[in-house]
């Protein structure tokens, strides 16, 4: 290690390690750039009719070799080779014309320093360090004295999934009903599938049944179906757990740094949490010991989609959303469910306030004097001015026996346990 690294600086160890190319790509680059190739010995004898050895020096041969491989492109190299070959008709035949399969004669040249010098074929091959098949392929597949375009990497793999199969997967997934999330509301673009669809494997089995019903022969594998589902769609099967306490979750972050202010704030948060718990237990005891008190908690259940079942046809039908606001009395252990459909109303503050108003009317008819209500701090449904105005108007205009109404908004992220308490 150098001095900078000893002092705690980034140094050379902080450099990102470059990812190495795979062997297939490296081999292709070596073939194009001529790595490992070199000029071979002059193959011509003293009696060579072209006098190849006298036309070029060894330095010129090395320069020609480097120039050819320095082109660095398949088509440019093949075009250069085509410029070195001339196709001539046969001047004389040694064999009978009907027996010989030869129709042309080729002459080979090297274009260098504004000169075009004829050489032997083997001299050209040894200078460039290429095979006879490379030269022959370039000549036989040339188009109007131009090299055939390189077709490597431009064809679809033989095992590639047909585009039509992926389109059928797309159409199948698009036909599935999407339901809104109970927690996220409108704060996310992610859509959710009904819980009865379970998982991707179950969806894939439904897809195969769907293909059989339509008489389609396209049946891609589960891996292809999973890849399309995860990469092309933003779908989920369960509600994201976002109803957690923000203060408690922040402390779990690895970047969180404890300070005196944060420590004091967190201690107050824990005290408030314990205080709300003690308050809830105290109000429960009032409901158990005094008939004039009723302690109840209320919350909105997740969206109920109907029809619900395992029938294949139900998965593609339009689901009707039902909403259920449940009020649970700790003293009597009675639960009252207020349900309505999406055509009757939404799930906002007006609907929730109406439900609580109806519940308070029930308590008023039972001669209840003091109502204590617990709920979460959801501002869109519970903790808002609509709820408070409703409670005030109820006491002023409607209540006959109810004297006081106490509503407690529990800490965000710590309300789940209170709704499910039975004692």
- If the chain, 423 residues long, is cut into consecutive pieces of 10 residues, what is the mean pLDDT of each piece? 49 57 67 74 83 87 88 85 85 64 82 88 90 88 74 76 88 80 57 78 89 85 90 74 65 72 82 84 87 91 78 69 91 91 90 94 92 88 92 93 92 62 43
Would you say 241 and 183 are in contact if contact means Cβ atoms under 8 Å apart? Answer: yes
Give the helix/strand (H/E) hosting 338.
strand 335-341
State the sign of the Cα–Cα–Cα–Cα dihedral 70, 71, 75, 81. negative
Nearest to 117 by CA among 70, 71, 53, 66: 53
- Distance separating alpha carbons of residues 5 and 322, to the nearest angstrom: 64
User: What is the model's pLDDT at position 179?
Assistant: 66
Structure token digits, residue 164: 């039509």
Q: What is the CATH number of domain 260-409?
A: 3.30.420
CB atoms within 10 A of CB 222: 14
Structure token digits, residue 337: 């469910």
Exposure of 409 in the CB half-sphere (CA atoms within 13 A): 11
User: What is the model's pLDDT at position 17?
Assistant: 62
Note the pTM of the prediction, 2 decimals: 0.46
List the chain domain ranges.
23-90+99-147, 163-237, 260-409
- Distance separating alpha carbons of residues 263 and 281, to the nearest angstrom: 27
């Amino acid at each position: 290690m150098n001095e900078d690294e000893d002092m705690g600086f980034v140094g050379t160890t902080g450099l990102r390690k470059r990812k190495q190319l795979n062997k297939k790509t490296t081999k292709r680059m070596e073939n194009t750039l001529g790595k490992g190739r070199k000029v071979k010995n002059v193959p011509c004898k003293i009696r060579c009719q072209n006098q190849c050895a006298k036309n070029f020096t060894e330095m010129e041969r090395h320069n020609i070799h480097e120039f050819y491989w320095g082109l660095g492109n398949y088509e440019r190299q093949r075009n250069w080779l085509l410029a070195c070959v001339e196709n001539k008709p046969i001047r004389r035949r040694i064999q009978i014309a009907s027996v010989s399969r030869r129709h042309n004669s080729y002459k080979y040249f090297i274009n260098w320093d504004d000169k075009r010098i004829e050489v032997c074929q083997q001299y050209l091959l040894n200078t460039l360090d290429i095979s006879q098949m490379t030269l022959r392929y370039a000549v036989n597949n040339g188009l109007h004295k131009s090299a055939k375009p390189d077709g490597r990497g431009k064809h679809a793999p033989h095992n590639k999934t047909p585009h039509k199969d992926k389109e059928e997967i797309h159409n199948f997934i698009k036909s599935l009903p999407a339901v809104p999330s109970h927690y996220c509301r409108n704060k996310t673009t992610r859509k959710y599938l009904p819980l009865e669809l379970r998982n991707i494997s179950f969806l894939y089995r439904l897809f195969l049944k769907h293909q059989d019903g339509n008489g389609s022969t396209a049946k891609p594998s589960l891996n292809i179906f999973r890849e399309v589902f995860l990469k092309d769609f933003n779908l989920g099967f369960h509600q994201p757990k976002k109803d957690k306490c923000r203060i408690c979750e922040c402390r779990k972050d690895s970047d969180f740094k404890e300070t005196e202010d944060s420590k004091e704030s967190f201690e107050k948060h824990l005290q408030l949490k314990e205080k709300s718990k003690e308050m809830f237990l105290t109000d429960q005891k009032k409901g158990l010991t005094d008939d004039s008190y009723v302690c109840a908690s209320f919350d909105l259940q997740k969206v109920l989609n109907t029809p619900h079942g395992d029938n294949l046809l139900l998965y593609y039908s339009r689901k009707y959303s039902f909403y259920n606001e449940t009020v649970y009395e700790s003293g009597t252990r009675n639960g009252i469910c207020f349900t309505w459909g999406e055509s009757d109303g939404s799930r906002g503050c007006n609907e929730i306030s109406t439900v609580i108003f109806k519940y308070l009317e029930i308590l008023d008819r039972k001669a209840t004097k003091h109502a204590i209500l617990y709920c979460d701090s959801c501002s869109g449904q519970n903790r808002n001015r609509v709820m408070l105005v409703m409670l005030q108007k109820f006491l002023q205009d409607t209540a006959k026996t109810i004297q006081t109404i106490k509503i407690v908004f529990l800490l965000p992220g710590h309300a789940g346990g209170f709704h499910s308490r039975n004692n």
